Amino acid sequence: MELSGPRWKGKNFAQIANSNPMSEIIAQLQVCLSNSESAALPIGTDFLLETVPELTKLLNRTSFGRQLTTSYDSKQYFQLSPEETFYLHHFLKCLKVSIDNAKLIDVNDFWNFMRSRSELFPIYYRAYVHLRSKNWIVKLGTKNGVDYVVYRHHPALVHSEYAVIVDRENDKGEKEGERMRVWSDLHCAVRACNGVAKAVLLLNVMGYEVNFNLPELLERTIVDERQITRWVPSQCRDDCKLEGNKGEHH
């Protein structure tokens, strides 16, 4: 199955997206969060953020987190994933974080806190930053059996284009992840994602060391990006050429 670019969900939705650049909306969110006194609090594996109407609107427009429905008319809350929380705190430098009802923590303490919760967090965060830096909207891909799905603009306007699988290599170039070790794994992923009109994007984080005790050390890593597609014999150029020459004799 060949993908033909973005699949907009409605007429003129492409024009709406072009007239509302996501980078500009994120810049507005950055200012609003920086001026907010609210701090994200850990809840389970995610984080909870109390918001005001203006912040709620900007979080929804940038598709960060998920707005929660509560019985409190005067209070609004958002649930943020670990990657989203750390991205807003570390990369955009606009989100405050509090752990165990303590005072606000700095980025290095927060980094070590995240590493203590999951040793693979740095790998997924590195992949998340890589995608966000290219202006993709990044959401969890659990429903599609992948790590992330990415959107060209807000999910209300356009369908996701890529299903992202994150893998890793150590500083010696040795594969450490358990993903995609055999061709059958890759084939199944491609078939499943093509069935819902998504291409598979494999991100391999190269050069990561487990003793990266500062987030800045992630800059030493390289993200190898590869789009995986399924070969369709009927679309082979050589076959088409042979078909065109059939019956020609000299």
Total-model pTM: 0.85
State the pLDDT confidence band at 75, using cuts at 50, 70 and 90: confident
Nearest to 6 by CA among 151, 166, 165, 106: 151
Which two structure tokens, joined as six digits, stand for 162? 């890529």
pLDDT greater than 90 at residue 248: no
CA distances from 65 to 111, 142, 148 (A): 19, 15, 14
CA distance 140 to 150: 9
| Catalytic residue chosen out of the listed positions 124, 151, 162, 208 | 151
Indicate if the pLDDT at residue 246 is higher than 50: no
Active-site residue, 130 included: no
Rounded to whole angstroms, the Cα distance separating 55 from 39 reads 13
**Which residues lie closer than 8 Å to 93 by C-beta, 6 or more apart?**
34
Q: Which one-letter amino acid corresponds to residue 188?
A: C
Mean pLDDT of 176-198: 65
Q: Is the pLDDT of residue 155 over 70?
A: yes
Q: Residue 200: what pLDDT?
A: 87
Judge contact between 184 and 192, C-beta under 8 A.
no
Tokens representing 218?
A: 């992630």
Q: Can you give the pLDDT at residue 4?
A: 58
Catalytic residue (choose from 89, 130, 153, 198): 198
Clarify whether 198 is annotated catalytic: yes
Res. 249 pLDDT band, cuts 50 70 90: very low
159 flagged as catalytic? yes
